[in-house]
Amino acid sequence: MSITAIKGMNDILPGEVETWQFLEQSARDVFGLYGFSEIRTPIAEKTELFCRSIGETTDIVEKEMYTFNDKSEKSLTLRPEGTAPVMRSFIQNRLHNLDPVSKLFYLGPMFRYERPQKGRYRQFHQIGAEVIGVEDAKIDAQVLAMLHQYFVRVGIESVSLQINSLGCPDCRPGYRQKLIGYLELCLDNLCADCQRRYQTNPLRVLDCKAAGCQAATLDAPSVLEHLCSPCNDHFSQVKHYLNILQIPFIVNSRMVRGLDYYVRTTFEMVTDQLGSQNAVAAGGRYDGLVESLGGPALPGIGFAIGLERLVLMKGEQRIGAAMPQLFIAAIGTEAAERAFVLMSQLQVAGVRVEMDYLGKSLKAQMRRANKLNAAFTLILGEEELGTGQAQLKNMSDSTQSLVALDAFVEFFAKKQV
């Protein structure tokens, strides 16, 4: 039996990879405008990095991590998300000494042991951005404006931005206790997962997809009504700045994020096109995270976009591979050799050229030129080699012109195709 890929880990094939490249390049372009630099961290980290940052009682750490011992019995984990590795690197490399405000972005594969389904995989890709060093709500709005701008740039408009505030270590514990009190009264209506986690991770119950949990928590206390006054002011400012930038948003007080490090502003970009995998991007503030990982007490905010979900949303609007500018059809060994040299010279000169390698008939070569959607074809046979001239055919209007082979490379390289 032939060997297949690991379940939940996908190949990205020619034909679809162009969409990926477009989405990635658009991120580089848009994030560059906002002053972000790329950072690349290793795919694996010490396991404790994720346990300490994401939190022991989160879905990711409890059941989704790819954790294994290496040959010297050290526990390693394939990164399930990008923020913790970026913060680790930020602290280790003392990036705060270079600039009081760091704006970083990353893109690459993440790994979570989840049940594979549409929009949910075990290896998936994120594009993420982080700003470290600013508490001012202007930066929350700026990060959200950048995210908004990215979706406009890639042509995905059927998404909406939902925002919430989760409070801080001053006000959240009081809210948390109140919520636990509320959940205790409706425990029987909660799903098994929520019955298990309502004391360790009560906010997560608000986010549960089970219909019973949603119904039971309809009247649950709202986190927004329990914010301390600095958190309340901060959230008001975020909304104010979004309004003056004309970034549309919806406040969703039930939105919680599945990672422990979030405080204050949290947000999601949601779509109704992908069933229950409805979040295409998510993020928030993580003001205590850098310090808790042993770094300076600097605030931070960031997001991650799920690339597979974006690709699914692009769907039909796929971007195809670039077509050849020229196909050289050759008849006979000598002509094929001349075509081969011409092709190589044209490629050096920056032209996308194709020819036949399989000894096909002229008719079959022309069929291939058509299939590849080549803009021009050049036909070379014994006669053309003799006269030093050949017909260059424009495939879109079938017009032909006689061209000199000696000067062809220079001539065609200058042509706007």
Report the interface residues with ligand ATP, using CB under 6 A: 81, 112, 114, 119-121, 124, 126, 258, 277, 279-282, 304, 306, 308-309
- For the chain, how many residues are written? 417
Structure letter (DSSP) for residue 321: P
Give least dist CB 112 to ligand ATP, A: 5
Scan for tokens 């389904």, then name that residue: 117
Residue nearest to ligand ATP (CB): 306
Pick between residue 208 and residue 380 the one whose CB is nearest to ligand ATP. Answer: 208
Contacts of 165 (CB under 8 A, 6+ apart): 223, 224, 227, 231, 232, 234, 235, 238, 264, 265, 266
| Beta pairing partners, 140 | none
Pick between residue 3 and residue 13 the one whose CB is nearest to ligand ATP. Answer: 13
Pick between residue 124 and residue 408 the one whose CB is nearest to ligand ATP. Answer: 124
Give least dist CB 22 to ligand ATP, A: 18
Pick between residue 24 and residue 381 the one whose CB is nearest to ligand ATP. Answer: 24
Give least dist CB 178 to ligand ATP, A: 24
Give least dist CB 198 to ligand ATP, A: 18
Pick between residue 134 and residue 274 the one whose CB is nearest to ligand ATP. Answer: 274
Q: Dihedral angle at the C-alpha atoms of 276, 280, 286, 291, nearest 10 degrees?
A: 110
- Evaluated on CA atoms 378, 382, 385, 391, the torsion sign reads negative
Give least dist CB 75 to ligand ATP, A: 21
With contact defined as beta carbons under 8 Å apart, do 405 and 388 qualify?
yes
Give least dist CB 304 to ligand ATP, A: 4
Give least dist CB 287 to ligand ATP, A: 17
Pick between residue 250 and residue 362 the one whose CB is nearest to ligand ATP. Answer: 250
Secondary-structure percent of the chain, ordered helix, strand, coil, rounded to 5: 40, 20, 40
Helices and strands in the chain: count of H runs, count of E runs: 16, 16
| Beta pairing partners, 104 | 37, 130
With contact defined as beta carbons under 8 Å apart, do 206 and 222 qualify?
no
| 404-415: burial string, b at 16+ Cβ within 10 Å, e else | ebeebbeebeee
Pick between residue 271 and residue 377 the one whose CB is nearest to ligand ATP. Answer: 271
